[in-house]
Amino acid sequence: MNKVSYISRNVAELKPSGIRRFFDLAAQMDDVISLGVGEPDFVTPWNFIEQSFHALEQGYTSYTENAGMIELRKEISSYLQKSFRLDYSPDDQVIVSVGASQAIDLALRTIVDQGDEVIVAEPSFVAYAPAVRLAGGTPVTIQTQPEYEFKLQAHQIEEAITPRTKAIMLCNPNNPTGTFLSGDELAQLAAVIERHDLLVLSDEIYAELTYDETYTSFPSIDGMKERTILISGFSKAFAMTGWRLGYAAGPSEIIAAMVKIHQYTMMCAPTMAQHAALEALKNGKPSVQEMIESYKQRRNFIVSSLNELGLYCPNPGGAFYAFPSIKATGLTSAEFAEQLLQEEHVAVIPGDVFGESGEGYIRCSYATSLKQLDEAMNRMKRFMEKRV
C-alpha cells in the first residue's frame, strides 16, 4: 500500500514551513540563545492562571456555547469598544476560537470557494498562504519592499487584483517585520479595497504591542467594518500562547457561518482558557501595560545594538520583532542564520521563510530577557567582526 498516495494532493503539495528546519538544527544544541521565538518570554500573569484554577475547582470542565461563553464575548466586545472604538454585538458578531490561528482558518474556509484568490502581503506570518490553500483558494502574494519599510502600498494591491480576487489578508503590526501602519496609511489601502469590493481579514493580534503612535484598528476606518473580519487573540499581548485562545469579530452573517464550521469541527474553545481570558480582560490591563513597557525598552535596545553592529534596522513600530538587513555581510539570509547558529549558538530566523522580499533580512525576536539579548548582541558582534 502506497500510503503517500492517500494524502490529498492539496496537502501533499503544501511546503513544510522553513522554520521547521531551523527548529531541528537549533534543538540539537545546548546553550543556544534564541531570538527565533514568536511568543512572549513572560509567563501568563498569575491572576489569569489562578482564575482558571478557580473555574476548574468550581467544576467548569464541560463544553461552552459554540461561539464561546457569552460573558467572555461581552468582555471582548467591551474591550474592542474601549480600546479601538469598535462596536460589535456579543450576541452574533463575536466568535471565540482556538487561537487566532483557528480564527484565520475559519474565516478563510467561510469565504473561499475553489479557485478564489486571496491576497497575502509578504513577508508575512507563515500560516496565511497555506491556510488559503487548505481552504481551496489560491494565495496571491505581494512582496512588500524595504524602501517602504515593508509597508504595503495601495498600488501593489491594485496590481494584484484579478476578477477572482475575493479578499486580502492584512496584518498590523506585522510579523516578521514589526512594521506598523498608521491610520492614514490604512485609509489609503481601504480606498482600493472598497473600490474593488474586497473582503478583509485583518489580523490584529499585535495591536496592543505598539510603541510610538496610536493604533488604528482597520474596521474602525469609514466603510470598512462591513467588509472586515477582525482577527485577534490572547497569545501575544496577554502572554497566553499555550492556552490557545483567540477570537474573530465581524458582520453577523459571516460570524454565523464561521460558527457553523466551528460547531462541527471544534465544538468550542477550551473552557478553562476561556475563564482565564475573562480575567485577562477584566483585570489584566496593568500586567499588559507592564509587558508593553518592557517590550518597548527591549525594542530600543536591540534596534540600537543591531545598527551599531552594521546590521541596518529601522525602528519597528510594533510586535516584538526586529527585521535587520544582513546585506552588508554578502551572505544570504539562510547562510547568515545557519553560520550564526553554528558559530555563536544564536538562533534567528532567515527572512526569506516569510516571503521572497525577506531575503537579505533576518527576524530577531526581542521577547527574551535583557540578559539574554545582551549576550546575543555580544555574540553577534563577534560574528560580525569576522566578516566585515
Partner 1 sequence: MNELEIELLKLIERNANLEADKIAKLMGKDIEEIRELIKELEKKKAILGYSTLIDWAKVLDKEEVTAMVDVKVTPARGVGFDKVAERIYRFPEVKAVYLMSGSYDLSVSIKGNTMTEIGRFISEKLSTLESVLSTTTHFVLKRYKHDGIILEDNDEEDKRIVVSP
Binding site for partner 1 (CB under 8 A): 17, 19, 22-23, 26-27, 32, 34, 36-39, 41, 43, 125-127, 175, 293, 297-298, 300-301, 304-305, 347, 349, 368, 370, 374
Task: Select the binding partner of residue 374 from partner 1, ligand PLP, none (C-beta < 5 to 8 A, by kind).
Answer: partner 1
CA distance 128 to 97: 17
> What pairs with residue 332 in β-bridges?
none
- Report in angstroms how near the CB of residue 19 gets to partner 1 at its nearest: 5
- Report in angstroms how near the CB of residue 244 gets to ligand PLP at its nearest: 7
- Report in angstroms how near the CB of residue 209 gets to ligand PLP at its nearest: 11
Sign of CA dihedral 92, 137, 117, 317: positive
**Contacts for 284-291: CB closer than 8 Å, 24+ residues apart:** 284/45, 284/47, 284/48, 284/238, 287/45, 287/47, 287/238, 287/239, 288/208, 288/237, 288/238, 291/40, 291/42, 291/237, 291/239
Q: Which is nearer to ligand PLP, 99 or 329 (CB)?
A: 99
- Report in angstroms how near the CB of residue 43 gets to partner 1 at its nearest: 8
Task: Select the binding partner of residue 342 from ligand PLP, partner 1, none (C-beta < 5 to 8 A, by kind).
Answer: none
Task: Select the binding partner of residue 370 from partner 1, ligand PLP, none (C-beta < 5 to 8 A, by kind).
Answer: partner 1
Positions 27 through 86 that interact with ligand PLP (CB under 6 A): 38
- Report in angstroms how near the CB of residue 314 gets to ligand PLP at its nearest: 19
CA distance 34 to 52: 30
Length of the chain: 388
CA distance 379 to 32: 11
Q: Which amino acid is at 274?
A: Q
Among 118, 120, 157, 171, binds ligand PLP (CB under 6 A): 171
Q: Which residues bind ligand PLP (CB under 6 A)?
A: 38, 99-101, 125, 171, 175, 203, 205, 233, 235, 241, 246
